[in-house]
């Protein structure tokens, strides 16, 4: 119990959590602490490419045998999680299938910032994570959105623009920069990687803090909209990450991931997208209630995972090791 309390206290007093709270409070008192949109876009590009680059470099020491089972399991989770979310959302009668599909796509996809915060948290606690963790992030990103859009559109009268939807998913900056960074990190020499490490790796924590402050500001600015989401959807945003996160942890342990890798897979499964999924859903399900899905993801699930979820998933995983 003392170990759990220590981990929880460490997380609550971490820069990542405190700076998110700062942004949230800044929005509530009408202080303009938001990051200008061009800077926000620059930081998101930096984080996506930097994480891909670091993961690609780490892939050099990964064997195909150790990677294949986690990769296949992650793809399976990318299909299963949006289906599970869609079925649970059936319990909320006021939602139509398009709205359920949109929300399922957000929760079937992943959150880069939650992933980054979890990596930082595990690193600060000296817990090893497999080098291919960024690859799992990419593998989980794509099927979740596609399955969510399919579930939301299968009984609709309008035909889904599948080409445009798939193009948005595959060529969107999230997948393109992650995959591009992974390939470049895997191909470049050790000397070439070391030259860019001071910028793309060593400064990630600082840029992540700025990104989190901006997300805190967005959550605080849209607090009224979050309340409009409704108790049932907000409850889903709090409980579903526990279900999907625990599922990811169980699967991670089953395929032989380390403690850190198991936690990361759990965090990925528990997170909800607010970058890639909204763009794809706007094309695939244009008549869905987009703000409903986005506010559930960024306004409810993201702060829950950041403040409570990450240390909780670590404690759940520890019981398996």
pLDDT for 227 equals: 66
Q: Rounded mean pLDDT of 281-305? A: 84
SS3 percent helix, strand, coil of the chain, rounded to 5, is 80, 0, 20
Average pLDDT score, the chain? 86
What is the distance, to the nearest Å, from the Cα of residue 45 to the centroid of all Cα atoms in its chain? 15
Q: Are 130 and 258 in contact (CB under 8 A)?
A: yes
Helix (H, G, I), strand (E, B), or coil: what is residue 39?
helix
pLDDT for 9 equals: 66
Taking residue 202's Cβ as centre, other Cβ atoms within 10 Å add up to 11
DSSP string, 95-126: --HHHHHHHHHHHHS--HHHHHHHHHHHHHTT
Q: Rounded mean pLDDT of 273-294? A: 80
Residues 6+ apart with CB under 8 A from 64: none
- Percent of the chain at pLDDT > 70 equals 91
* pLDDT value at 174 more than 80: no
Q: Rounded mean pLDDT of 141-161? A: 78
pLDDT for 221 equals: 80
Q: Rounded mean pLDDT of 16-30? A: 89
pLDDT tier at 5, thresholds 50, 70, 90: low
pLDDT for 41 equals: 86
Q: Are 288 and 281 in contact (CB under 8 A)?
A: yes
- Supply the pTM of this predicted model: 0.87
For the chain, the domains span 2-318
Helix (H, G, I), strand (E, B), or coil: what is residue 192?
helix
What is the per-residue pLDDT across 54-89, written as a single tens digit (0 to 9) for each?
A: 888 888 878 888 899 999 999 999 999 999 999 999
What is the per-residue pLDDT across 78-127, written as a single tens digit (0 to 9) for each?
A: 999 999 999 999 998 888 888 999 999 999 999 888 999 999 899 888 99
pLDDT for 17 equals: 85
Q: Are 260 and 127 in contact (CB under 8 A)?
A: yes
Helix (H, G, I), strand (E, B), or coil: what is residue 251?
helix
DSSP class of 230: -
Q: Domain 2-318 is in which class?
A: mainly alpha
Q: Calculate helix-pair angle for 259-270, 231-254, nearest 10 degrees.
A: 150
Residues 6+ apart with CB under 8 A from 31: none
DSSP class of 136: H
* pLDDT value at 273 more than 80: yes
Q: Rounded mean pLDDT of 29-44? A: 87
Task: Name the H helices within 154-258.
Answer: 162-171, 173-187, 190-200, 204-221, 223-228, 231-254
Higher pLDDT: 283 or 116? It is 116
Taking residue 39's Cβ as centre, other Cβ atoms within 10 Å add up to 13
Q: Are 256 and 280 in contact (CB under 8 A)?
A: no
pLDDT for 2 equals: 47
* pLDDT value at 162 more than 70: no
pLDDT tier at 269, thresholds 50, 70, 90: very high
Separation in Å, CA 24 to CA 34, 187, 192, 214, 231: 10, 41, 39, 8, 21
- Percent of the chain at pLDDT > 90 equals 40
pLDDT for 1 equals: 46
């Amino acid at each position: 119990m003392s170990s759990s309390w220590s981990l929880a206290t460490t997380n609550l007093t971490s820069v990542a959590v405190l700076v998110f709270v700062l942004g949230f409070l800044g929005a509530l008192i009408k202080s303009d602490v938001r990051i200008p949109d061009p800077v926000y876009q620059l930081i998101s590009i930096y984080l996506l490419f930097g994480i891909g680059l670091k993961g690609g470099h780490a892939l050099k020491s990964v064997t195909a045998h150790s990677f294949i089972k986690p990769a296949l399991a992650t793809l399976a989770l990318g299909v299963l999680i949006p289906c599970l979310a869609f079925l649970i959302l059936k319990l909320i009668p006021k939602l139509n299938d398009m709205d359920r599909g949109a929300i399922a796509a957000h929760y079937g996809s992943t959150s880069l910032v939650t992933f980054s915060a979890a990596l930082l948290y595990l690193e600060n606690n000296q817990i090893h994570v497999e080098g291919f963790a960024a690859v799992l992030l990419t593998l989980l990103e794509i099927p979740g959105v596609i399955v969510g859009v399919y579930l939301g559109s299968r009984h609709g009268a309008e035909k889904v623009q599948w080409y445009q939807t798939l193009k948005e998913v595959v060529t969107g900056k999230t997948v393109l920069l992650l995959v591009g960074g992974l390939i470049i990190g895997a191909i470049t020499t050790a000397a070439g990687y070391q030259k860019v490490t001071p910028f793309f790796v060593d400064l990630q924590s600082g840029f992540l803090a700025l990104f989190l402050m901006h997300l805190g500001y967005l959550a605080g600015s849209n607090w009224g909209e979050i309340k409009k989401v409704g108790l049932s959807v907000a409850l889903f945003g709090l409980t579903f990450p526990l279900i999907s996160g625990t599922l990811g942890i169980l699967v991670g342990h089953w395929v032989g991931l380390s403690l850190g890798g198991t936690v990361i897979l759990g965090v990925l499964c528990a997170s909800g997208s607010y970058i890639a999924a909204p763009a794809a859903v706007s094309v695939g399900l244009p008549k869905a209630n987009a703000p409903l899905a986005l506010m559930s993801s960024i306004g409810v699930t993201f702060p829950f995972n950041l403040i409570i979820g990450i240390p909780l998933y670590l404690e759940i995983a520890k019981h398996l090791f």
